């Protein structure tokens, strides 16, 4: 069993493509001193992402990086790694980052890229997880925080929260209720990392 990281204050870099409500929830936990971390930089692949404005409000460095400015995904990710390392980031937080992370970023941050996904993985990977859950007819869905590996939404699971699906739910109503749980569990997982309490054996995570 291998400890993911020693206890200590985390230096976070957050990648996001859109709204940024998870960013806000993490910032709130930092400000309340419930999460022992600093938010070093927010990077978005979307020029218009609201998360960039939210970062400005919190005086957090923020960058738009256009993947189209690069010849390949590897070159794009190499640039991300340089930005993250320049800020001494030790954990990369994906919060609504709508791209599959490739080997360049994963090699630079092995077992230190975390993601939140709005379903109980391994159910409903990929896009529109909440719509998939409603259409499938499951009675429970939820959200999952996991380490990122080279697959899509396949990495070792740190924590999940369950949300019941009502008969009259649609994608939006379910997404809204799942989001409430996302905002509760993401920063808690990061705090467990900060406390040095997360261990990995195979693909199983142990919280000790």
Half-sphere exposure of 15 (CA within 13 A, CB side): 25
First vs last Cα of the chain: how many Å apart?
11
Strand partners of residue 113: 92
Compare residues 90 and 96 and give the one whose CB is closer to ligand GAR.
96
Selected catalytic residue, list 79, 117, 128, 183? 117
Provide, rounded to whole angstroms, the least separation between the CB of residue 25 and ligand GAR: 8
With binding defined as CB under 6 A, does residue 142 bind ligand GAR? no
Cis peptide before 122 (omega within 30 of 0): yes
With binding defined as CB under 6 A, does residue 181 bind ligand GAR? no
Q: Closest residue (Cβ) to ligand GAR?
A: 96
Backbone angles phi, psi at 71, to 5 degrees: -75, -25
Indicate which single residue of 10, 12, 16, 163 sits in contact with ligand GAR (rule: CB under 6 A). 16
> Tokens representing 3?
């400890």
Q: Which residues ranging from 74 to 113 are in contact with ligand GAR (CB under 6 A)?
A: 95-96
Task: Assess whether 79 carries a catalytic annotation.
Answer: no
Token match 């930089």: residue? 41
Residues that bind ligand GAR (CB under 6 A): 16, 18-22, 95-96, 116-118, 129, 179, 182
Q: Which residues are catalytic?
A: 117
């Amino acid at each position: 069993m291998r400890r993911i990281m020693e206890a200590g204050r985390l230096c976070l870099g957050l990648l996001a493509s859109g709204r940024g409500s998870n960013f806000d929830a993490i910032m709130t936990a930092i400000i309340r001193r419930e999460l022992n971390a600093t938010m070093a930089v927010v990077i978005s692949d979307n020029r218009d992402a609201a998360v960039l404005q939210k970062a400005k409000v919190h005086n957090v460095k923020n960058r738009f990086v256009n993947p189209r400015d690069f010849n390949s995904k590897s070159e794009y990710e190499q640039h991300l790694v340089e930005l993250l390392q320049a800020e001494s980031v030790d954990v990369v937080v994906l919060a609504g980052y709508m791209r599959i992370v490739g080997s360049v970023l994963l090699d630079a941050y092995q077992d230190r890229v975390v993601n939140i996904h709005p379903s109980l993985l391994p159910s409903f990977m990929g896009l529109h997880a909440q719509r998939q859950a409603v259409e499938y007819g499951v009675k429970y869905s939820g959200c999952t925080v996991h380490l990122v590996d080279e697959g899509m939404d396949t990495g070792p699971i740190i924590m999940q929260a369950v949300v019941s699906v009502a008969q009259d739910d649609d994608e939006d109503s379910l997404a809204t209720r799942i989001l409430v749980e996302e905002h509760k569990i993401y920063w808690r997982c990061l705090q467990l990392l900060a406390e040095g309490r997360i261990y990995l054996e195979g693909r199983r995570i142990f919280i000790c």
